[in-house]
């Protein structure tokens, strides 16, 4: 039985059946709903059978389990497998596709995570909530590998709680051949927000389904800081977005990777590692186009994601081992080579494939770095106002 509608219809049908019975004073026929539920009763049995079958195919449970709450598509299976072999434990992952989603789930009582990989602003919020466990740096000899530039951020001064994992940029990703063909600029947010460019791309553009990221891109294009909280500027950004919206295909947080690969979507506002992934997939599938990323000249958002220990995690020991494992240059480099994330690990650079190392969307040059901004956390009032702006954006 379908879940949503099912939950309403039985009593109505019954009530109707009964009403009609009482009206017509017929001898009682089998109430319809019972004969319905007789069809229905077969369904669960089968479901049960399937589930039992699925269970019998079996899964061995190791006693040592590390619970990781991570971004989707943010670690390679090979890396996980190697860590599992090394520690003789199992890694269980749950995923999120937006910091806000992760924070909301934690606020709604999600527990049991040893490790989380939040972005700076979300980490700041977790630290202020007193939800994190301080690191024992004695257990992290590889910490020395991290580039000083990524330590001691405003989000966690002194790195008492966090170790940089990787960074991603939120930028423009595009189908190189299509954009050449249409002769569109790819070095500016204008191509995402200006109708004169979008006219050629109607229905071929997606933007992130993230209030913060989209607002930041619009603010950047308008010449403001990504962390601007002036409501008047937010409204300007809103109007910019609403004007461009009719040309966009969707707000999308993850499946745009596939859409780029298939060739349905030609231009995205997305994460650098996702765009990297889309290009790999497109090449693997033998597409005749490349997916390329570029940092708009107006600037973009840099998200430094760090590994932190959640207080609710039962295995801080395994979590420390995992962090140190990921700090090893080779493992860290694997992450970059496979998923195209930026790497704050100096020791990793030597293992990174040259084509990745020279990709400016993965490793931005010094000039571009100056244009990147990290997002700060919003307070509850700002969150509510932003949510209303988001509602207007979605509705208009």
Partner 1 sequence: MPGCSCVTEPARKLVTAARLTKWVVSGPPFLFLLLFFVIPGIIMVLASFRYPGEFGGLAPLTAADPATLQGVTLETYRFFFSDPIYGQVFVKSIFMALATTLICLTMAYPLALLIARSPKKSRDLMVLLVILPFASNFLIRVYAWMIVLGPQSALSRLVNGLLHGLGMEPVHLLFSPFAVLVAMVYVHLPFMVLPLYTNLEKHDPSLLDAAQDLGASAWQRFWRVTFPLSLPGIFSGSALVFIPVLGMFAVPDILGGTGDMLIGNLIKEQFLGTRDWPFGSTLSIMLTIAVLLIAWLAARLAGRRGSYG
Partner 2 sequence: MDNATMRRGRWLWAAALAVYAFLYVPLAIVVAYSFNDSRLNAEWVGFTWHWYEVLLHDEAMLTAAGNSLLIALVSSLVSTALGTMAGIAMHRYKLKLLTFMVLTPVAMPEILLGVSLLLFFIQVLNLTLGMLSIVLAHITFSIGFVAVIVRARLAGMDESIFEAARDLGASPWETFRYITFPLILPGVVAGGLMAFTLSIDDFVITFFTAGVGVSTLPLHIYSMIKIAVTPEVNAVSTLLMLLTLTMIVLAAKFAPDVLKGKT
Interacting residue ranges for partner 1, rule: CB under 8 A: 1-9, 12-13, 15-17, 19-20, 24, 26, 32, 35-36, 39-40, 43, 46, 98, 100-101, 103-108, 125, 128-129, 202-203, 211, 245-246, 248-251, 262, 264, 379-380, 383-384, 386-388, 390-392, 394-396
* Coil, helix or strand at residue 171: strand
Least distance from partner 1 to the Cβ atom of residue 305, Å: 19
283 binds, among partner 2, partner 1, none (CB under 5 to 8 A by kind): none
> Are the C-beta atoms of 371 and 300 separated by less than 8 Å?
yes
CB of 385 to partner 2, least distance (A): 22
In the bound complex, what is the minimum distance in angstroms from residue 374's beta carbon to partner 2?
25
Query: What is the DSSP pairing of strand 300-310 with strand 115-116?
Result: antiparallel
Please, which residues bridge with residue 303 across strands?
A: 168
Cβ proximity to partner 2: between 209 and 377 the closer is 209
Tell me how far, at minimum, the Cβ of 241 lies from partner 1, in Å. 9
Rounded Cα distance, 368 and 20, in Å: 74
Among partner 2, partner 1, none, the one that 330 touches (CB under a kind-dependent 5 to 8 A) is: none
Contacting positions for partner 2 (CB under 8 A): 1-4, 6-8, 10-12, 14, 17-18, 28, 30-31, 33-35, 37-52, 54-55, 57, 59, 67, 69, 72-73, 94-97, 105, 108-113, 253-255, 257-258, 261-262, 264, 281, 285
User: Residue 60 Cβ, how far from partner 1 at the closest point, in Å?
Assistant: 28
CB of 34 to partner 2, least distance (A): 6
Q: Compute φ and ψ for 33, nearest 5 degrees.
A: -65, -30
Residue 254 touches which member of partner 1, partner 2, none, C-beta under 5-8 Å by kind:
partner 2
CB of 218 vs partner 1, minimal distance in Å: 14
Q: Which of partner 1, partner 2, none binds 98 (CB below 5-8 Å, type-dependent)? A: partner 1
Give the residue with the Cβ less far from partner 2, 125 or 332. Answer: 125
Question: Residue 182 binds which one of partner 2, partner 1, none, with CB within 5 to 8 A depending on kind?
Answer: none
Query: Which residues neighbour 94 within 8 Å (Cβ) at sequence distance 6 or greater?
Result: 67, 68, 69, 70, 113
Cβ proximity to partner 1: between 12 and 141 the closer is 12
Q: Which is nearer to partner 1, 73 or 255 (CB)?
A: 255
Say whether 292 sits in a helix, a strand or coil.
strand
- Residue (46 or 88) nearer to partner 1, CB: 46
By the 10 Å C-beta count (0-12 exposed, 13-18 middle, 19+ buried), 367 is classed as: exposed
Residues 6+ apart with CB under 8 A from 374: 119, 120, 121, 153, 155, 301, 302, 303, 304
Map tokens 């030597």 to a residue. 350
| CB nearer to partner 2: pick between 79 and 261 | 261
Contacts of 297 (CB under 8 A, 6+ apart): 187, 188, 371
**Minimum gap (Å) between residue 379 Cβ and partner 1:** 7
Partner that binds at residue 50, options partner 1, partner 2, none, CB closer than 5 to 8 Å by kind = partner 2
Tokens of 11: 């009593």
Contacts for 95 with CB less than 8 Å, ≥ 6 apart:
69, 70, 71, 72
Q: Where are the beta strands (DSSP E) in 179-290?
A: 205-207, 248-251, 267-271
Number of H helices, E strands in the chain: 17, 11
Residue 192 Cβ, how far from partner 1 at the closest point, in Å?
Answer: 13
Name which of 67, 242, 328 is nearest 251 in CA terms: 242
From the list partner 2, partner 1, none, partner contacted by residue 91 (C-beta under 5 to 8 A by kind)? none
Residue 249 near which of partner 1, partner 2, none (CB within 5-8 Å, type-dependent): partner 1
Q: Which of 238, 170, 193, 216 is nearest to 390 (CA)?
A: 238
CB atoms inside a 10 Å sphere around CB 374: 17
SS3 (DSSP) at 59? coil
């Amino acid at each position: 039985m379908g879940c949503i509608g099912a939950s309403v219809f039985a009593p109505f049908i019954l009530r109707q059946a009964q009403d009609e019975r009482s009206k017509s004073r017929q001898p009682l026929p089998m109430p319809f709903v019972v004969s319905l539920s007789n069809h229905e009763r077969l369904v669960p049995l089968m479901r049960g059978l399937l589930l039992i079958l699925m269970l019998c195919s079996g899964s061995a449970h190791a006693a040592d389990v590390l619970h990781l709450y991570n971004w989707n598509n943010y670690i390679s299976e090979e890396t996980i497998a190697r860590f599992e072999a090394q520690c003789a434990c199992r890694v269980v992952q749950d995923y999120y596709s937006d910091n806000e989603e992760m924070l909301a789930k934690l606020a709604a009582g999600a527990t049991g995570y040893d490790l989380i990989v939040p972005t700076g602003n979300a980490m700041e919020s977790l630290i202020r909530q007193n939800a994190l466990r301080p690191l024992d740096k004695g257990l992290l000899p590889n910490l020395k590998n991290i580039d000083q530039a990524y330590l001691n951020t405003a989000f966690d001064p002194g790195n008492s709680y966090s170790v940089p994992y990787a960074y991603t940029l939120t930028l423009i990703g595009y189908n190189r051949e299509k954009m050449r063909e249409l002769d569109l600029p790819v070095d500016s947010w204008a191509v995402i927000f200006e109708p004169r460019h979008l006219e050629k791309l109607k229905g071929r553009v997606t933007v992130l389904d993230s209030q913060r990221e989209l607002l930041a891109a619009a603010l950047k294009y308008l010449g403001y800081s990504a962390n601007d909280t002036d409501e008047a500027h937010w409204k300007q950004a809103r109007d910019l977005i609403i004007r461009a919206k009719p040309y966009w295909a969707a707000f999308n947080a993850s499946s745009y990777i596939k859409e780029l690969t298939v060739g349905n979507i030609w231009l995205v506002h997305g994460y650098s590692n996702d765009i990297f992934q889309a290009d790999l997939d497109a090449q693997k599938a033998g597409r005749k186009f490349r997916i390329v990323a570029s940092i708009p000249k107006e600037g973009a958002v840099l998200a430094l994601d760090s590994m932190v220990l959640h207080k609710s995690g039962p295995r801080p020991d395994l979590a420390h081992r995992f962090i140190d494992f990921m700090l090893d240059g080779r493992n860290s480099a694997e992450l970059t080579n496979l998923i195209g994330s930026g790497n704050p690990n100096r020791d990793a650079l030597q293992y990174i494939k040259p084509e990745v190392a020279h990709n400016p969307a993965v490793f931005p040059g010094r000039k571009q770095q100056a244009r990147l901004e990290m997002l700060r956390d919003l307070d509850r009032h700002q969150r509510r106002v932003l949510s209303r702006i988001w509602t207007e954006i979605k509705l208009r």
